[in-house]
A = this chain, B = another copy of it.
Amino acid sequence: MDNTALPLIKLSEYFAKYPGIGLKTAKRLAYQTLSFDIDEVEMFAKALIEVKETIHFCPVCQTFTDLDLCKICTDAEIGKRNKQQICVVETPKDINAVERTAEYKGVYHVLHGLISPLEKITPEKIKIKELLTRVRDNDIIEVIMATNPTIEGDATALYIAKILKPIGLKVTRLAFGLPIGGILEQADEVTLFKALENRNEL
């Protein structure tokens, strides 16, 4: 006989809907909820709904935002960032990864996915159309393809480059090679192959 109280079972089923959370972890989380104050749980519940109600795509770069225009696009509007350089990424989180370098001063475009025939993700299913409109309607100089160095990431970068280059745009791709601080012996063969292929003259 399962003696678990019904509200705990129901709650763990909701936790288990998140990819990567198994039934066991979900149950643990449901039990742990009991150890919080009711105020905390109420604020958590409110935060869940608030996320769904306020988050939408930034009309310019397509990242997630609760504002009319996301923070970076707002900065670009007031001249704090270079609107003529677009860095194309797969997810909103990738923006933060690039931002952490504190090097890039252009703007972004989030595709929300990569072209993948295997998973039936065609170009129409990701935000390529929005990128093309943006490039057409604005005075863009360079588009940097910063998708992951995977088959899908490469394919998506090539697909977009093939459309943008004939318009006369500079389309670049992030460099691939050995990670800084990495050990040559431990590098996988594909990374090492890329490092060899992209070798620079000293």
Binding site for B on A (CB under 8 A): 1-8, 10-11, 14, 17-21, 25, 27-34, 36, 38, 40-55, 63-67, 70-72, 75, 91-93, 95-96, 99, 108
Contact = CB atoms under 8 A, between A and B. Distances in A.
Contacts of A48: 11, 33, 41, 44-45, 48
What is the count of identical protomers in the complex? Answer: 2
Nearest to A29: B18
B38 A45 contact: no
A38 B53 contact: yes
A7 B46 CA distance: 10
A19 B5 CA distance: 21
B7 A71 contact: no
Contact of A66 (B6, B20, B70): B6
A199 B42 CA distance: 53
Contact of A55 (B5, B17, B45): B5
Contact of A46 (B1, B3, B19, B45): B45
24 contacts: A3-B71, A3-B99, A3-B108, A5-B55, A5-B66, A7-B50, A7-B66, A8-B55, A8-B64, A10-B50, A11-B44, A11-B51, A14-B43, A14-B44, A17-B36, A17-B44, A20-B25, A31-B64, A33-B48, A34-B55, A36-B52, A38-B49, A41-B49, A44-B45
